[in-house]
């Protein structure tokens, strides 16, 4: 690759990365934006197929409109955009490696903005590996990226606002939601709704979703948990039970329902692989989603040339990511003495806006936290690491035998050594350790390649770029 030096490289083309890119495109800096997806927009703005655009975009939040506008704006801006490009390594000498269209490539950066977003959080139960059990995000991928409903009739379970957003999207796309099973009890949900008075934009969004759900008579059952998904070769039935105040299942409440597809979702955890590979410090903040990247109020990390934005500084939703994208970009310009006078007051106002967004984040992460006890109650046969087929019994043994940290569990059981490299089971095991040992373990060590990479590509890169053949 020729001329691969950039003043700023932004990793992640979600709302945070897009806003950072647009803000920096006003400067004379040479900027690159990298995202592993084939489209920009991240998790919130997947590119909708024509057939679904009208249906799913009928209700556009202010943030969604702004995100779509940013994607259009960036088409005419002076910056290099690399899609289908996965960052697999970040190195001390300000170099990063990424895999793109079957080739490993290298960029040199002076400054980095990392905005790699979040992934879903899980609470395993027997049968969650059956075909027909989906994460809520996977249902969205079917809807938004492929333009199809994965089944005619869908049952949803889990906790938090995303459950209702996905129910709304299924209904708008012409699907049928059989029931929603919310982990939180009705009283907790009610107090969450009352607390929204402090966050007016969220009230409108919640109202739009609930109006659709209630007008289509979708039953919502509170204080419920999926106990088991059953079926011969694919999902056929789901067993759901009610929890008492101590988090125990009330036996006589257990019911079995037939369903074609079960969507589950228990919120999000930040994607920290790139952050950790870059030597950025992380801290544990339960009220912001667990392990998050450590930043100051202007989103500077412990590394003077690395800034962070979006879900990885705390799970807070789309609005927070937009605020932080702009804030990280202005903060970076400020550090280089390139910020315009008018933007200095903008930076200050963004710091204040971010504080408000963080208050909302702390609020909903606390209301919708999963009681740790539920992780200690997972039965021995339940698969925890899907890639390596490791069950709860083996994880429990490792925790009892060893120093109860993630690396030991990984070495002892192979959990986290498969294709997803612990992205799914890592946060689950962390919660199991916490529930059994009441201490928060450090996440397991991050190693390059940060995401699965083809050895053939790395070899070609080595021969061409390092050996110079
Ligand atoms: C599956 C899923 C679905 C969601 N759906 C909704 C929704 O419908 N409504 C809602 O309000 N919120 C949703 N969220 C929450 C969502 O994360 C935020 O609302 C918002 O999109 C966050 O923006 P962001 O820029 O911080 O992160 P993201 O939108 O997650 O963007 C991060 C980007 O970084 C890229 N990336 C990550 N690692 C690498 C790498 N190594 N190399 C290159 N690129 C990388 C990803 O491809 C992604 O595009 C969803 C979250 C998830 C995980």
Q: Whose Cα sits closest to atom 50 in ligand 1?
A: 43
Instruction: Determine the distance separating the centroid of ligand 1 and the alpha carbon of 208, expressed in angstroms.
Output: 22
pLDDT confidence of residue 465? 85
Instruction: Determine the distance separating the centroid of ligand 1 and the alpha carbon of 121, expressed in angstroms.
Output: 13
- Only one residue has tokens 């948990």, namely 225
Instruction: Determine the distance separating the centroid of ligand 1 and the alpha carbon of 388, expressed in angstroms.
Output: 26
Segments of the chain with pLDDT less than 70: 1-3, 47-60, 469
pLDDT confidence of residue 57? 54
The pTM (predicted TM-score) of the whole model is 0.95
Instruction: Determine the distance separating the centroid of ligand 1 and the alpha carbon of 114, expressed in angstroms.
Output: 12
pLDDT confidence of residue 58? 58
Please state the φ and ψ torsions of residue 150, each to the nearest 5 degrees. Answer: -70, -15
Query: Which region, left, alpha or beta, applies to residue 154 given φ > 0 means left and ψ of -120 to 50 means alpha?
Result: beta
Q: How many Cβ atoms sit within 10 Å of the Cβ of residue 55?
A: 15
Q: Is the CB of 6 under 6 A from ligand 1?
A: no
Q: Is the CB of 317 under 6 A from ligand 1?
A: yes
Omega of the bond leading into 386 within 30 degrees of 0 (cis): no
Give the largest CA-CA distance in the chain. Answer: 71
User: Would you say 331 and 323 are in contact if contact means Cβ atoms under 8 Å apart?
Assistant: no
Q: Is the CB of 163 under 6 A from ligand 1?
A: no
Instruction: Determine the distance separating the centroid of ligand 1 and the alpha carbon of 21, expressed in angstroms.
Output: 16
SS3 (DSSP) at 319: helix
pLDDT confidence of residue 334? 98
Q: Whose Cα sits closest to atom 1 in ligand 1?
A: 137
Is domain 122-266 given the CATH code 3.50.50.60 in the classification?
Answer: yes
pLDDT confidence of residue 189? 79
The counts of H helices and E strands in the chain are 15, 21
Quick one: which atom of ligand 1 is closest to the CA of 135? 1
Asked, colleague to colleague, whether 5-119+268-366 and 372-469 share their fold, the answer is no
Q: Whose Cα sits closest to atom 37 in ligand 1?
A: 116
Q: How far is it, in rounded angstroms, from Cα 414 to Cα 338? A: 49
CATH class, domain 372-469, is: mainly alpha
pLDDT confidence of residue 11? 98
Q: What is the residue-averaged pLDDT of the chain?
A: 92
The CATH code of the domain at 5-119+268-366 is 3.50.50.60
pLDDT confidence of residue 358? 95
Quick one: which atom of ligand 1 is closest to the CA of 119? 53
Q: How far is it, in rounded angstroms, from Cα 381 to Cα 403? A: 23
Q: How far is it, in rounded angstroms, from Cα 388 to Cα 378? A: 18
Instruction: Determine the distance separating the centroid of ligand 1 and the alpha carbon of 310, expressed in angstroms.
Output: 9
Please state the φ and ψ torsions of residue 265, each to the nearest 5 degrees. Answer: -160, 130
* Structural domain spans, the chain: 5-119+268-366, 122-266, 372-469
Q: Is the CB of 318 under 6 A from ligand 1?
A: yes
293-313 pLDDT per residue, tens: 999 999 999 999 999 999 999
Q: Is the CB of 35 under 6 A from ligand 1?
A: yes
Instruction: Determine the distance separating the centroid of ligand 1 and the alpha carbon of 243, expressed in angstroms.
Output: 31
pLDDT confidence of residue 35? 97
User: Would you say 150 and 142 are in contact if contact means Cβ atoms under 8 Å apart?
Assistant: yes
In this structure, are strands 220-222 and 383-385 parallel, antiparallel, or unpaired?
unpaired
């Amino acid at each position: 690759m020729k001329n691969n030096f950039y003043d700023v490289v932004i990793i992640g083309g979600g709302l945070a990365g897009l806003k950072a890119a647009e803000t920096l495109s006003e400067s004379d800096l040479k900027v690159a934006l990298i995202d592993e997806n084939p489209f920009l927009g991240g998790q919130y703005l997947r590119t909708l197929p024509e057939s679904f655009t009208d249906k799913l975009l009928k209700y556009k939040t202010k943030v969604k409109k702004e995100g779509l506008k940013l994607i259009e704006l960036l088409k005419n801006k002076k910056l290099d955009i690399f899609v289908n490009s996965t960052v697999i390594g970040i190195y001390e000498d300000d170099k990063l490696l990424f895999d793109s269209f079957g080739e490993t490539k290298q960029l040199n950066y002076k400054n980095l903005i990392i905005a790699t977003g979040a992934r879903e959080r899980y609470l395993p139960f027997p049968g969650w590996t059956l075909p027909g059990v989906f994460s809520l995000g996977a249902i969205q991928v079917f809807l938004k990226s492929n333009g199809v409903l994965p089944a005619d009739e869908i049952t949803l379970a889990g906790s938090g606002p995303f459950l209702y957003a996905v129910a709304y999207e299924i209904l708008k796309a012409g699907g049928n939601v059989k029931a929603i099973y919310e982990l939180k009890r009705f009283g907790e949900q009610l107090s969450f709704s009352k607390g929204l008075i402090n966050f007016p934009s969220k009230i409108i969004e919640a109202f739009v979703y609930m109006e659709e759900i209630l007008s289509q008579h979708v039953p919502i059952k509170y204080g419920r948990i999926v106990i088991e998904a059953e079926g011969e070769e694919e999902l056929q039935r789901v067993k759901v039970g009610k929890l008492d105040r101590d988090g125990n299942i009330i036996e006589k409440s257990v019911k079995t329902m037939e369903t074609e597809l079960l969507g589950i979702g228990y919120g999000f955890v930040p994607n920290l692989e790139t952050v950790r590979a870059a030597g950025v410090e992380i801290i544990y903040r339960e009220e912001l989603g667990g392990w998050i990247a450590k930043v100051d109020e202007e989103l500077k990390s412990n590394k003077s040339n690395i800034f962070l934005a979006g879900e990885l500084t705390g799970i807070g939703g789309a609005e927070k990511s937009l605020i932080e994208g702009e804030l990280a970009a202005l903060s970076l310009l400020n550090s280089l003495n390139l910020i315009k006078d008018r933007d200095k007051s903008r930076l200050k106002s963004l710091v204040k806006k971010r504080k408000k967004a963080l208050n909302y984040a702390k609020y909903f992460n606390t209301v919708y936290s999963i009681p740790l006890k539920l992780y200690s109650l997972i039965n021995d046969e339940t698969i925890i690491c899907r890639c390596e087929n490791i069950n709860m019994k083996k994880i429990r043994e490792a925790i009892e035998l060893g120093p109860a940290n993630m690396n030991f569990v990984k070495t002892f059981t192979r959990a986290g050594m498969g294709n997803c490299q612990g992205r799914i089971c890592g946060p689950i095991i962390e919660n199991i350790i916490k529930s059994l040992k009441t201490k928060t373990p450090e996440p397991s060590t991050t190693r390059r390649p940060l995401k699965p990479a083809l050895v053939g590509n790395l070899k070609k890169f080595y021969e061409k770029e390092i050996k110079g053949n």
